[in-house]
Copies of this chain bind each other. A is one copy, B any other.
């Protein structure tokens, strides 16, 4: 596949793919012309990379995890890395859940507050308050 196809397939920019290559996350063969050529599996790989990015991992960490995906052979250091990241993720999920709950509380309060003085809503709409 060509770089544009992979980009469209994975929903990222061409620039991003070149950046991943720069970081060593995604290798590509080259055609005689210099154009990059990717296997079809690249799309899935890029999606996974995006997932890890979204989870807050940086390129360096992803780089330490990805080789394992290819080989399915892990050194103790590597599995420890995986465990560390998983634990970090769990902690983060707990934190986010806490924030989510607090936002829910606030929303509960907010609804009551806005239903009380009708002026607020009216003011927000740019209308005068019920003459």
Q: Which residue of B lies closest to A79 (CB)?
A: B110
Asked if residues B51 and A98 are in contact (CB atoms below 8 Å), the reply is yes
- Contact indicator A89/B99 (Cβ below 8 Å): yes
Residues of B within 8 A of A82 (CB): 103, 106-107, 110
Q: Verify A96–B99 contact, CB threshold 8 A.
A: no
Q: How many copies does the complex hold?
A: 2
Query: A46: shortest Cβ distance to chain B, in Å?
Result: 15
Interface pair B73/A121, CB less than 8 Å apart:
no
Contact of A124 with B54 in the complex, beta carbons under 8 Å? no
- Complex Cα spacing A21 to B109, Å: 26
B120 touches A75 (CB 8 A): yes
Q: How far is the CB of A91 from chain B (nearest CB, A)?
A: 10
Q: Which of A72-119 contact B (CB under 8 A)?
A: 72-79, 82-83, 85-86, 89-90, 92-93, 95-100, 102-104, 106-107, 109-111, 113-114, 117
